[in-house]
Structure 1
């Protein structure tokens, strides 16, 4: 693949996007991150919550420690039950609906084997005798498609599924065949930029500090967290067990008129979301750093949005919190970012941690 602006190949972003990382089973993504961040950290480890933590020592032993978080997990599904004919019924892991990713191929991550299935609704060529299809037709019931309406066709019976280690609790992900990174002019698109593009900025932050010889003001913990999509569980544990009062989450950020944000603009700096009001001093500093680098930061008051940092602050686990976002079209759908967004957020992170 060709090189992106920051000097890294898109192969790394593609590898992150291809890796399955359902909530509570983020091993494949964590392995990639561990391989990449390890050479640039004094120490890396996986904690009891499954978070990957990379410690980078600060220049001033008296300066406070900082935590920067990006989450490993992705929107995914959980097998709720298996029907007698081998169809899987699902419940979502995270806030999404079948329409977010569309009907089609899924990967069923059995204990002993990963198999392919098809997320299906049923034939559109049906009448009221097929109520779950009928009520979702735009010209009939006009009801939004929801999880009770769909199933996964496996082509296997329950006994065969059991031999693959598939049952209630098995994770189901959008298949790798639907995760190819595409180029749209000056933009990159794929499912699961949330939060793989943000994960990449943390890896680049570590790489950049090594390459330039710069050091964070105080000890820096880069935390690649688990279970963000189901309540920021990994982040809560990290904030409870790691030193420091400041938690900064890096995320995708919605670009909508209601927030005054655009995908063509600079990094988004949140002043609040649905879980907490972020610290004004932290947000102001992020904006100042961005402006000093020549970017046009987009201040935003977000609704219907939560982050690892806001969950931690709302739970009383982090006295200070901030949120820095890559401007993103169609968050929790087929997500599109500017090619320059990864570079811009990385630049802001580097100067922010050095100046704290």
Structure 2
């Protein structure tokens, strides 16, 4: 199981270039679904038919990861950068990165730097994005021979690994390859299960830059309600005595009731809380002021649909390397499996 999560996390799939991730997912789920298609936008849509007695439901997990893009290349080879998705410049400093060619293959590696760090000068203030560059050791001409040019993607080079505990892991792209992994395992778990719901599993593109993939693919699926399977930030930085309700890595899946753009459906939320108690699955409840997910696109589809957000929390979200719990991942699979076996009667 962890091998698949490792494979997903280490795949190179920034927003707008998700093909490597999609290829892995297609291979994994093809034997377990009735229909599999890729739309013109690049979204992967899997369909598992129900008995015909239930509603049409979509589970969405986005395939893309935050990244950088080459904005310009100096004669000495320093690559100026633009962010692809929300990533704080301070988290990039000193990081090893992979620079991709136009075909999405690694062309070379580099290190993110800025002049004060480069020359061992006194650092008086945190660098801004425009101060940063990637140093590959190659000049402009050599980079061009390697296929690196304006528009090339740059991705952090952190690999999947467990920390001292075999339950806590770290790596790049936990947001949202963990969500992809959860949905894949959910599909596999349903192989011999009879269910009334007509199930669609959407692996969407370009979530990190505007949730565009989910927005367009919903017109193909036309669901009755949906769940976004995504990540959220943890609140457990106070190691000595975090608040009792702090969202904590290792304490279960997270149900988000509100974020910057959505108040999730109360009927769905209440039902998930009841299911977690019935099946003794730990569940954390979160209200936050920042960020949003593909659940917002579900909610705003046509005349509006019920939607909610379930997933894992992680430390260092939207940075080059995150930290999360494998138990939280597996418990999210169990919770969504219980939801499919015992779906709610959706109300407003």
**Paired position in structure 2 for 1:159:** 141
For the residues of structure 1 that align with 2:304 and 2:204, how far apart are their CA atoms? 15
Q: How far off is 1:341 after superposition?
A: 1.0
Instruction: Please give the per-residue CA displacement for 1:153-197, whole angstroms capped at 9, x wherever unaligned.
Output: 13333333333332222111112xx21322332322222211111
> Does the 8 Å CA contact 1:279/1:320 hold for their aligned counterparts?
yes
Q: How far off is 1:316 after superposition?
A: 5.1
For the residues of structure 2 that align with 1:164 and 1:195, how far apart are their CA atoms? 29
**Paired position in structure 2 for 1:3:** none
For the residues of structure 2 that align with 1:97 and 1:199, how far apart are their CA atoms? 24
For the residues of structure 1 that align with 2:188 and 2:178, how far apart are their CA atoms? 15
Q: How far off is 1:85 after superposition?
A: 2.0
Q: How far off is 1:342 after superposition?
A: 1.5
Secondary structure of 1:234's aligned partner: helix
Cα RMSD (Å) of the superposition?
Answer: 2.1
**Paired position in structure 2 for 1:275:** 261
Q: Does 1:47 align with 2:46?
A: no
Secondary structure of 2:163's aligned partner: strand
For the residues of structure 1 that align with 2:168 and 2:138, how far apart are their CA atoms? 40
**Paired position in structure 1 for 2:48:** 56
Instruction: Please give the per-residue CA displacement for 1:202-245, whole angstroms capped at 9, x wherever unaligned.
Output: 110011111xx213322111111111110111111122221212
For the residues of structure 2 that align with 1:56 and 1:253, how far apart are their CA atoms? 28
My pick for the range that moved more, 153-162 or 102-111, is 153-162
Secondary structure of 1:230's aligned partner: coil
Match of 1:198 among 179, 196, 212: 179
Structure 2: unaligned runs, 5 residues or longer: 236-241, 344-348
Q: Does 1:181 align with 2:181?
A: no
The total of aligned residue pairs comes to 332
> Does the 8 Å CA contact 1:276/1:314 hold for their aligned counterparts?
no
**Paired position in structure 2 for 1:119:** 112
CA gap of 1:93–1:317, structure 2 versus 1, over 3 A, is farther
For the residues of structure 1 that align with 2:112 and 2:119, how far apart are their CA atoms? 18
Q: How far off is 1:302 after superposition?
A: 1.8
> Does the 8 Å CA contact 1:121/1:149 hold for their aligned counterparts?
yes
**Paired position in structure 1 for 2:221:** 242
TM-score, normalised by the number of residues in structure 2: 0.89
Secondary structure of 1:337's aligned partner: strand
What pairs with 1:68-83 in structure 2 (closer than 5 Å)?
A: 68-83=59-74
For the residues of structure 2 that align with 1:317 and 1:72, how far apart are their CA atoms? 26
Match of 1:296 among 282, 285, 288: 282
**Paired position in structure 2 for 1:25:** 17
Instruction: Please give the per-residue CA displacement for 1:317-338, whole angstroms capped at 9, x wherever unaligned.
Output: 7511110021322222332222
CA gap of 1:109–1:318, structure 2 versus 1, over 3 A, is farther
**Paired position in structure 1 for 2:5:** 13
Q: How far off is 1:122 after superposition?
A: 3.2
TM-score, normalised by the number of residues in structure 1: 0.87
**Paired position in structure 2 for 1:348:** 335
Q: Does 1:104 align with 2:95?
A: yes
